């Protein structure tokens, strides 16, 4: 399934707006979707019409309690620390910004990867 290009553009804009002062994100196409990395770590992405958000293991259950969030389970098993957010959960700009801030917060808490790790 192709990813939602309109959502991808909204994520790019939110990353620019919210991520001021952080390393610019890199875009990588993977598994039919689009992944954004910061410091070499996956931060967020777009899969179909879903927003993919890396919240980390300690904020995982908190994120799942949010409306429209569900486990990221593209392999059939939930990937702990990652959630899918359905369209109703990011429709408003403020909601998308909140999810992007969460993703940037977790990715920013990780040490930058060295070139040999990426």
pLDDT tens string 33-86: 999 998 889 999 999 999 999 999 999 999 999 999 999 998 888 888 999 999
116 pLDDT more than 80: no
Say which DSSP state 47 is in: E
CB 8 within 8 Å of CB 28: no
Is the pLDDT reported for residue 118 higher than 80? no
For residue 57, give both structure tokens.
Answer: 């293991």
- Please determine, for residue 114, whether its predicted confidence score (pLDDT) is greater than 90: no
Q: CATH: 3.90.1150.30, 3.30.750.24, 3.90.45.10, 3.40.50.300. Which one for 5-109? A: 3.90.1150.30
Q: pTM for the full model?
A: 0.90
Instruction: Give the model's pLDDT for residue 117.
Output: 59
- Here the contacts of 88-91 (C-beta below 8 Å, separation 24 or greater) are 89/51, 90/7, 90/10, 90/51
Contact by Cβ (8 Å): 3, 46? yes
The predicted structure's pLDDT at residue 15: 94
Are the CB atoms for 84 and 69 separated by under 8 Å? yes
Minimal CA–CA distance to 96: which of 22, 41, 3, 16? 16
Count of other CB atoms within 10 angstroms of residue 111: 9
| Whether the Cβ atoms of residue 54 and residue 69 lie closer than 8 Å to each other | no
């Amino acid at each position: 399934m192709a990813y939602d290009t309109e959502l991808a553009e909204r994520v790019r804009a939110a990353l620019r707006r919210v991520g001021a002062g952080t390393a610019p994100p890199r875009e990588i196409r993977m598994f039919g979707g689009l992944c954004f990395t910061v410091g070499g770590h996956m931060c967020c992405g777009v899969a179909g019409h879903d927003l993919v958000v890396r919240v980390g293991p300690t904020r995982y259950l908190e994120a799942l309690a949010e409306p429209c969030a569900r486990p990221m389970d593209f392999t059939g098993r939930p990937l702990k620390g990652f959630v899918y957010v359905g369209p109703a959960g990011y429709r408003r700009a403020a909601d998308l910004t909140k999810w992007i801030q969460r993703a940037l917060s977790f990715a920013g808490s990780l040490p930058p990867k060295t070139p040999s790790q990426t």
